[in-house]
Structure 1
Amino acid sequence: MLELTVSPGEVEAVVQGSRVTPYQVTVRIRAFSTSEWDAVLDVVSAQIGRVAALLDGELPPEVVDDVHAAGLDLLPGAGEILTNCSCPDFAVPCKHSAAVCYLIADSLDDDPFALLLLRGRRKDELLSALRARRSTPDPAIPIRTPPPAGIPAKAAFDKAHAGEIPVPPRPLGSPGSPAAVRVLDPPRSSGVDVRDLVSLATDAARRAWEFASGDGDGGLALTFQQDLARRAAILLGTPELADLAHRAGVPARQLTSWAVAWREAGPGGLAVTIDEPTDVDPQSLAEALEALPGATTQANRVTRGKTQLRLGQDNLWYHFTQHFNDWTLTSPPSPDPQDLL
């Protein structure tokens, strides 16, 4: 091997064969597009440890996983390597091209950044882009003003004795997402998926905010089914709902019905959705029968065609519509069934 030059998407080599004139060998792999590199940098820049290592001139092996998380492969796969040689050998690859590929592998061990160069980014370009991302706030992580410093305990005690009980400062104006889980991956040996960690941490932050702001008890008194329905209501319309259903051991269609009921009417809507028909005083159904002439009754349910009214234990009426043999809650409840039709 007389010469080996690595450039974005290409390696050029001069190989001395059996003839006097050396052969020109070119090895090409596809360089990532600008948008693909943006996706890679977004993933890598969210990992503080990765960025620190890269800025120190090291390429952590985990960067390969980061690139894969962006939907790409840093290491070229079969059929992705194209070779060309000026020798008369018709083999693909010829022995000169094969030798160059082996030497490329050796050079990558000596300088791992050469692999990034092959994919289209020079080391200085990569580090500059990472520095720019670390210095620019992530729009997904809202910037919060620092909370009030509070009142020293001694001052609060003195005011309490003077009849001036200080009002504790309210929490932030809206729930946020813990920034740490967005930039720190769980240990690889833990088996915890980073998406699950972000989801659980964000949910915990939301519940803590509700509790601290007085807008609820943070869901501390919820049953398993209620908490599952609450979480599913947040995921309505996303693929994550089906994944939650699988993890909880509940059919996805059933969990979707629970989620809709929770969104429309909270615990009362979920209860009237889940509970079996409950006997009530027939006189209690009179208003619903007037609202739905010709309807049939079963316990606390009044049904006509694909419309059903259910009387909950809270003495409120709930409106359901039938879709593919499933009854789905369609609106908040009302004490007057006529208001639901």
Structure 2
Amino acid sequence: MTDARGFAAFPPQRTGARFATSWWGRAWIKALEDTSLDHTLLKNGRAYAKTGQVGPITVSPGRLAAVTEHEYDTVVRVEQLTDAAWERFLDQVAAKAGHIAALLDRDMPHDLVEAAEDAAVPLLPTVGDLEPECSCPDWGHPCKHAAALCYQASWLLDDDPFVLLLLRGRGERELIEGLQRRDVPATAPQGVPVADAYALGVPPLPDPPPLDVTFTPLGLEPAPGVDVAALEVLAASAASRARELLHTGASTPLTEYQDRVRLSAEFGLDLGLDAAVAAWRHGGAGGLDALESPWTPPKQDLARARALLEAGWEGEPPAVETWRNQWTVGDRQLRYGRDGRWYPFARRDGAWWPDGPPERDPSALLT
């Protein structure tokens, strides 16, 4: 006889919490909702499930049980598989090594369920397979208490598909023992043996592409409605950007706004982005982010920066006013960027203005 499994009561959930994120958990919910004769009771059941009005849950072969609000005894019964059906199911699992690994990894592969169905082994419940019982006076089928229990059970199924198999009659231990009595199919060796792979050594990397390629301006012919000069500027800018990416190895593409700022900084365009252009000229995308996006750095990063400041200051370091990634000392402000550098800012016309290239050491910018 398989021992029952007990699960602690779920606490009240946050607003918007979902039921069943796994596909087999959603199949369980669908069986419940297709069986229901009253959608209002289902709605109440969802509310009961999310507000923690279901006690600890016990799962045993063919039986899901809990004590719900007002001490009602609530049970949902599921038909157990026959011994012959279990043997056919184990045959399907053992026929593919990946099925065993998936189950042990708490996953229920689609093709395993389909193979079981082909062998006349219904793992997932369908309409009418869930039989609710409750000691409450409600005649609903299911009542709100049984519905709440089923909704919470979907969370258990998400975490562990062995809960479903236990409801169908057998637990994890019995299943593993049954599989161990079968021959697991051997998989054909693939790839190169480890010893041979290490013996090959590390092949040399290819030479980097040349970076001294001179860009040849486009020789465009004038055409009606086409600003040839603007196209030539854009082509030169794209070549410059490609060269920069090749040199730095950067892979994060610029947003449309960042690229507009970059073009303004590179060609002196007047697009009303003076502060952004100054930030870009001093620090590129990192400088622009420091100008416009406050964030909260990890505590260890700030502690390391404070130690650098104290070590680099002769005598008592200045009083620093801190807010998220911003340190203010009088009319000087440092902003810690997501790239690990500190960006200096100075007060200008009541606003903070980019004031130089960044440094790793904040004391270098204040002293």
Shorter-normalised TM range: 0.3 to 0.5
Q: TM-score scaled to structure 1, two decimals? A: 0.39
Greater RCO (Cα-Cα under 8 Å, separation 6 or more): 2
